[in-house]
Amino acid sequence: MFGVKLWVTLFFPLTLNGLILGQEHGPGGVRVVVKEDRDGMLPCSLSTKESIVSGVFVWRKVAQKDEGLKEVFLYDVGKHYNNGRPGQSEQFKGRVSHFQDELDHGNASIIIRNTKISDSGNYTCDFPRLRPRQTFSIELVVAATPKPSVTILDATAGWVLLQCEVHGASLTSGVEWKDSAGNTLPAEETRTPERDHYYITLNTTVTRTSRYRCVVTQEEISHQTHAEIFVPISGKVCEDSCSKEAGWLFGGFFLGVLSVAIVLALLVVTNTITIRCYKGSRQQGNGPCEKCSEMLRPQNGR
């Protein structure tokens, strides 16, 4: 098997600029990494640089566990999938093109437009009529770059329960909660499949006034997105709100059966009582401390 030669980028760097994020060479072939919705170039060239204008080359996506072998692109002595040749897999119709002007130099590279997570996998570039036959292996990694959103699930005088949501994540997306010092916080993660992506939720409980950040990392492309939220843990605000509303609640209950004087006395007494909301529970509801969470506002960022 011959190695893949990437001289093609020297001939038209402006055309390919920005198409791919990186290429790695290994014993199994070439690994191409690209962001989702960007164009990806899969390289394949004959080391002899002999013309393949009158030749044949075939691109296929190797069968995976949940799908069979797929026909990506076929060039056969001038006929190909973009000028009437039948047989191309539905997933790649209208999205794959070759470099016609480079066929004279043995270049059979292709571009896959608007890449999707489902395009990730192993590909082969095959020259079936050459003797000896030549086949190259290329791995395509399409990396998602979703943006997280953060919200308040619950709050008491002493703690706040935060949730980070990530739609459109890939299997390799990493999600973390971090405090203002950059420390990773313990959290509970849930991943739910949604088509070619994943829906991720990450919950954490915080007990200090600070700014907290949910960070999504895509290691393949060294890319991060994040969302921030400032959390003021204020027991005084919470307790005052609870006491005030509790006082009016008791006053209203006895209004129909007690005299005005007794009601006023009761209000004075109950307004001095300190009521701790939920008493440490994390159940959501319409409790008197619900107003505490109105102070907390998420701020999304990148």
CA angle 292, 294, 300 (to 5 degrees): 125
How would residue 253 be classed by pLDDT, with cut points 50, 70 and 90? Answer: very low
Residues 15 and 97 reside in one and the same domain = yes
Residues 278 and 199 reside in one and the same domain = no
Buried b (16+ CB within 10 A) or exposed e, 7-26: ebbeeeeeebeebbbebeee
pTM of the model: 0.63
Classified as helix, coil or strand, 92 is helix
How would residue 300 be classed by pLDDT, with cut points 50, 70 and 90? Answer: low
Residues 219-224, mean pLDDT to the nearest whole number: 83
**Residue 2 forms part of a structural domain:** no
Residues 226 and 268 reside in one and the same domain = no
Domain boundary among 143, 178, 204: 143
Closest CA to 295 of 249, 215, 236, 244: 236
**Residue 89 forms part of a structural domain:** yes
Answer yes or no: is pLDDT of 191 > 90.
yes
User: Is the C-alpha dihedral spanning 279, 280, 281, 283 positive or negative?
Assistant: positive
Model pLDDT, residue 256 = 43
User: Containing domain of residue 116, as a range?
Assistant: 8-143
CATH number at residue 164: 2.60.40.10
Buried b (16+ CB within 10 A) or exposed e, 179-207: beeeeebebeeeeeeeebbbebbbebbbe
Determine whether 1 is exposed, middle or buried from the number of CB atoms within 10 Å of its CB (0-12, 13-18, 19+).
exposed
Radius of gyration of the chain (CA): 30
Residues 41 and 86 reside in one and the same domain = yes
Residues 196 and 256 reside in one and the same domain = no
For tokens 């997933």, name the residue: 91
Residues 171 and 246 reside in one and the same domain = no
How many domains does one find in the chain? 3
Higher-pLDDT residue of 79, 268: 79
Residues 24 and 134 reside in one and the same domain = yes
Residues 221 and 207 reside in one and the same domain = yes
* pLDDT tens digits along 161-190: 999 999 988 888 899 999 999 999 999 999
Highest mean pLDDT of the ranges 69-73, 230-234, 263-267? 69-73
Q: How far apart are CA 72 and CA 58, in angstroms?
A: 8
Model pLDDT, residue 20 = 45
Residues 25-49, mean pLDDT to the nearest whole number: 85
Model pLDDT, residue 210 = 95
Domain boundary among 128, 143, 158: 143
Residues 110 and 57 reside in one and the same domain = yes
Residues 100 and 29 reside in one and the same domain = yes
Q: Phi-psi region for residue 84, left (φ > 0), alpha (ψ -120 to 50) or beta?
A: left
Residues 166 and 173: beta-carbon distance below 8 Å: yes
**Residue 1 forms part of a structural domain:** no
Residues 59 and 140: beta-carbon distance below 8 Å: no
Residues 210 and 110 reside in one and the same domain = no
Structure tokens at 14: 């402006």
Q: How far apart are CA 276 and CA 273, in angstroms?
A: 10
Which letter does DSSP use for residue 118 in this model?
A: G
* pLDDT tens digits along 102-119: 999 999 999 999 999 889
How would residue 298 be classed by pLDDT, with cut points 50, 70 and 90? Answer: low
Residues 247 and 228 reside in one and the same domain = no
Could you tell me where the beta strands, DSSP code E, fall in the chain? 22-26, 29-35, 40-42, 56-61, 70-76, 79-80, 96-98, 110-112, 121-127, 134-143, 149-155, 160-169, 174-178, 188-194, 197-206, 210-218, 223-231, 298-301
How would residue 221 be classed by pLDDT, with cut points 50, 70 and 90? Answer: confident
* pLDDT tens digits along 258-278: 343 433 333 333 332 222 333
How would residue 145 be classed by pLDDT, with cut points 50, 70 and 90? Answer: confident
Residues 251 and 266: beta-carbon distance below 8 Å: yes
Domain boundary among 96, 115, 143: 143
